Structures are given as structure tokens and as C-alpha cells.
Structure 1
């Protein structure tokens, strides 16, 4: 399975996020899953790539030209796919993956999550996004989605497109489907 990982490129964040990200990358590699990610050498992006790559896993980095220009391409890439910008990157990440896992992240990660979920709601694909809710990181977003649904702003049940996993075991179960 090709697992797309959305996550933070920041390094000054809680150590538990790195611990769980490393664990995910190792599990992917040891179980023959490829990592598809943003190709950056910083934060959780580099952590998941290094963990997968050093355990013999395939890592596919979709690298926007700005990342390349700024010298921040991960050295842990099996395959580098260059692209022009973040819109192209999102399209390619989705195209090259079977499922998406969102680790802790910021504005870019939110943009990626909602791009995938919104396109699924209108039928462009059937891929789901798994929010890896490490230490309750996504609790506020989950509450917001529940509130939007209660107010009638989301057609159907948002859980059809965005799934919450609180542990690696729950991720493993979602990846079996």
C-alpha cells in the first residue's frame, strides 16, 4: 500500500510526535508499505522518511520547486517527484497514494486534509484521511467537524471521509480495508 503522510515540517514541537511518527515510518517499511510525502528534510516529514528509509522502506517525495531552491529536500528519498507548487504537490500526493494519514501539523496539513476530504465528498476518489490523534492533537478539529455537522454544514457523516485513529493499532486496522 502507498500511504501518504501529511505532517508538520517544524522541529520545535512535542517529542511524542516524533516518537509516534518514527514508529509509523518503521511499521510502514517493515510491512512493505511505501511512504508518499512532501519530500522536505525538516520536522515530522524528515522523521517519517528517515524511519521508513532506514528500515528498507520505499519513500516517495513530492518536492515543490521552492523546497528544492531552499535546499530542504530530504536525503531519505527512494524516488523524487518534482513539482511546481503546493497545488501540484497535493494533486500528486493524492494520485500516488492509496490512503492518507495526517500526523500533527499546521496550516499546510489542514489544507491537505480538507483538499482530500472535500474531493472525496463529491466523488473524485474514495480515499480516506486518517487523523492520527497523537496525545489528542486533533481533538479541537474533531470538535469543530462535529459542530459543523450538527449545524447542517456537512452533508452526511464526515467520518465517511475522515477517520480518527488514536493509536498505531487503529491505523493498522484502517489500512487493512
Structure 2
């Protein structure tokens, strides 16, 4: 399965996020899955790419020119999709993936999650988006989504588009 992983490109974050990301990557690689990710050589991005690669999985990096020009491209990429910008990156990642996992991340990760989920709500695809809620990282976002839902700003149940896994076992079960 081609699994898109959205996550932080920062190194100075809780070490537990790296440990759980490495476990996910190892599971993906050992089970013959491919990671589709942003291709950076820093933060959780490097961790997921490296751990999938080291466990024998395939690594697809979708890399905007500005990242490559800045010397931030990972060296564990098997297949590279160069792109012009972040919009292109999102489109390529959606087309190359069967499911989407959001690890802890910032603005870019939020942008990617909501682009994928919004695309699903209007029928562009029927692929799962899963928040991997390591150490409750996504709890504040889940509370916002619950609030939006309760006020009628989300049609239907958003959990039909965005699912939550609190452990690697739950995540694997959703896949």
C-alpha cells in the first residue's frame, strides 16, 4: 500500500514523537508498504523516510524545488517526484497514495490534512485520513472539529473523513 505521511520537519520536538514515528516506519517497511512523504531530511520527515527505508520499504519523496535548492532533500528516497510548490506537492501526494496519516506537525501538516479531507467530502476521492494521536497531540484539533460539528459547520460526521488512532495498533487496524 502507498501510505502518505504528513508530519513535522522540525528536529526540536518531543523525542517520543520520533520513537513512535520510527516504529510506524519500521512496521511499514517490514510489511512491504511504501511511504509517500515530503522528502525533507529533517524532523519527523527524515525519521519516517529513514525508518521505512532501513526496514526494506520503498520511499517516495515529493519535493518542491525550494526544498531541494536549500539542501534539505533526504538521501533515503527511492523515487523522487520533483514539484514546483506546496500545492503541486499535495496534488501529487494525493494521486500517489491510498491512505493518509498525519503525525504531529505544524501549519503544513494541517494544510495537508484539511486539503485531503475537504477533497474527500466533495467526492474527489474516498481515501482515509487518519490522525495518529501520539501522546494526545491532536486532542485540541479534535476538540475544534467536534465544536464545529456541534454548531452545524460540518455536514455529516467529520469522522467519516478524518479518523483518529491513539496507538500504533489502532492505526494498523484502521489501515
1:92-111 counterparts in 2 under 5 A? 92-111=92-111
Match of 2:74 in 1: 74
Shift of 1:55: 1.1
Cα separation, 1, equivalents of 2:14 and 2:28: 22
Cα displacement string for residues 88-144 of structure 1 (whole angstroms, at most 9, x for unaligned residues): 000000100000000000000000000000000000000111000000000000000
The answer as to 2:126 corresponding to 1:126 is yes
Cα separation, 2, equivalents of 1:91 and 1:37: 12
Match of 2:49 in 1: 49
Cα separation, 1, equivalents of 2:103 and 2:95: 19
Unaligned runs of 5+ in 2: none
Cα displacement string for residues 25-66 of structure 1 (whole angstroms, at most 9, x for unaligned residues): 000000111000001101000000000101111000000000
Cα separation, 1, equivalents of 2:112 and 2:123: 17
Match of 2:156 in 1: 156
Q: Which runs of 4+ in 1 moved over 4 A?
A: none
| TM-score where L is the length of structure 2 | 0.99
Shift of 1:160: 0.3
The answer as to 2:11 corresponding to 1:11 is yes
SS in 2 for 1:153: coil
Match of 1:145 in 2: 145
Match of 1:34 in 2: 34
Cα separation, 2, equivalents of 1:128 and 1:172: 13
Cα separation, 1, equivalents of 2:51 and 2:107: 24
| TM-score where L is the length of structure 1 | 0.98
The answer as to 2:173 corresponding to 1:173 is yes
How large is the RMSD of aligned CA atoms in angstroms? Answer: 0.4
Cα displacement string for residues 133-170 of structure 1 (whole angstroms, at most 9, x for unaligned residues): 00000000000000000000000000000000001101
Count of residues paired in the alignment: 175
Cα separation, 2, equivalents of 1:85 and 1:53: 25
SS in 2 for 1:89: helix
Cα separation, 1, equivalents of 2:166 and 2:47: 19
